[in-house]
Amino acid sequence: MALTELEQQVFDEIGRRGEELVELASALIRFDTEAREPEHPPREEAALQEYLAGRLAALGAEIDLWEPAREDVAGSRLVPDGGLGFAGRPQLAARFRGAGGGRSLLLNGHIDVVSPEPRESWTSDPNEPEVRDGKLYGRGSCDMKGGIAAMTFAAEVIAALGVRLAGDLLVCTVTDEESTGAGGLAAVAHGVRADAGIVTEPSGFDIWTSCRGSLIPTITVPGRPGHAGVGQPDWRQGGAVNAIEKATLIIDSLRRLQEEWSERPDHQHPHLSPGDIVPTVVSGGEWIVSYPASCRIAYHIAYLPAHADEDGWGGAIEQEIVERVQRTAAADPWLAGNPPVIEWATDVPSSEVPEDEPIVQTILKTGVDIGRPRRVSGMDSWHDGATFTRFGGTPCVCFGPRDLHVAHTIDEFVVVDDLVACAQELAVTAVRFCGLAS
């Protein structure tokens, strides 16, 4: 391995203290930080953030632990209508200040996790971590408390060994990634930024330089109620209209649009799938023997970085969806006079960092030098790094342990050896990117 003596020392120290890293990840899993709906009370987010702050402060980090104000994120398309408060859900930025003259590096992760339900299907308690066959099980072990543990431990070991970096090293943990992305947005509004960032999502040790954005529309298709057991005249003579049947026209039209996207050149990307249009929730009807008066279809629409508007949002894709629905409705006599209504929920931004960015090249070189070559790829979903990149001026990539495919699942786990490997590579990358004090 082509490491310097100091880099080798940091690398070996993390390997020697691997059990401590597993203990750290286990401690994070024990905190109940389940993702929320806007009206939910806080869980143990504050306790987790205070725990991390205490560890990092003990090694010399400057701690900024704050509850954002509602206005910090108000008006953003990431935030639901009605706004979002952060009472009991603080954000954390811990800064190991460099000697000066080097580049700053942000290590970021989200502390919230998805629901463990159905709990009875788990082999062990999802909030009580357990190591079995070299894997650490528990809700959030993969997504992404394992990654947070690895990045925190990497920073701790660098500090504990007395390594003085030239640039600042920041450890930032945020809430609300799983529900809205508002935590990362609040951190950007608070001024958390660096020359580059690494989000330790479970990338399987790929370097994710890009991610898709997403839109969440709900389309309400109108009908006209009437008795389902009685013959109905033509709707023009006052007869009933089945909203569910009319909704299938919209569903079929948007399915055809997705098929067009899969072939269109502007929807091709070297590391991401084409944009897609997925119906996720359908609800319609009022009574079992009545023609449904309305049908609502919720969609998840993913779009590529090339389709982001100048503000980073999916405005062009939104307009394309609106126009397709309008054209479909205009071709149907009932819908032409009773057009569907589209309501738009949150929008999360896409992101892309060039492969020649210094942080990308540093991670790639580190992998080669320790005998673990890595590759560049992308994430079809979304991560907080897009917010830091788009709105905070911090080019962010994802790099973390295996494996996104076990995130959000029953018996979620992270491989113990991956935690150690991730912390080692993050530490060496930080030393190289930030530089050493002269």
From the candidates 7, 177, 201, 412, which is the catalytic residue? 177
Residues 6 or more apart in contact with residue 360 via CB below 8 angstroms: 207, 209, 353, 354, 376, 397
From the candidates 7, 34, 45, 112, which is the catalytic residue? 112
Q: Is 112 a catalytic residue?
A: yes
Q: Could you please report the per-residue DSSP string of 316-338?
A: HHHHHHHHHHHHHHHTSHHHHHS
What's the rounded Cα separation, in Å, for the pair 196 and 105?
Answer: 5
What's the rounded Cα separation, in Å, for the pair 281 and 343?
Answer: 14
Nearest partner of 143 among 203, 202, 211, judged by Cα = 202
Nearest partner of 140 among 128, 123, 156, 152, judged by Cα = 128
Widest pairwise Cα distance in the chain:
88
What's the rounded Cα separation, in Å, for the pair 212 and 299?
Answer: 15
Q: Which one-letter DSSP state was computed for residue 224? A: B
CB-CB contact of 269 with 378 (8 Å): yes
With b meaning 16 or more CB within 10 Å and e meaning fewer, what string describes 46-65?
bebbebbbebbeeeebebbb
Residues 6 or more apart in contact with residue 50 via CB below 8 angstroms: 65
What is the CA 267 to chain-centroid distance, rounded? Answer: 21
Residue keyed to tokens 């660096």: 194
Which active-site residues does the annotation give?
A: 112, 177
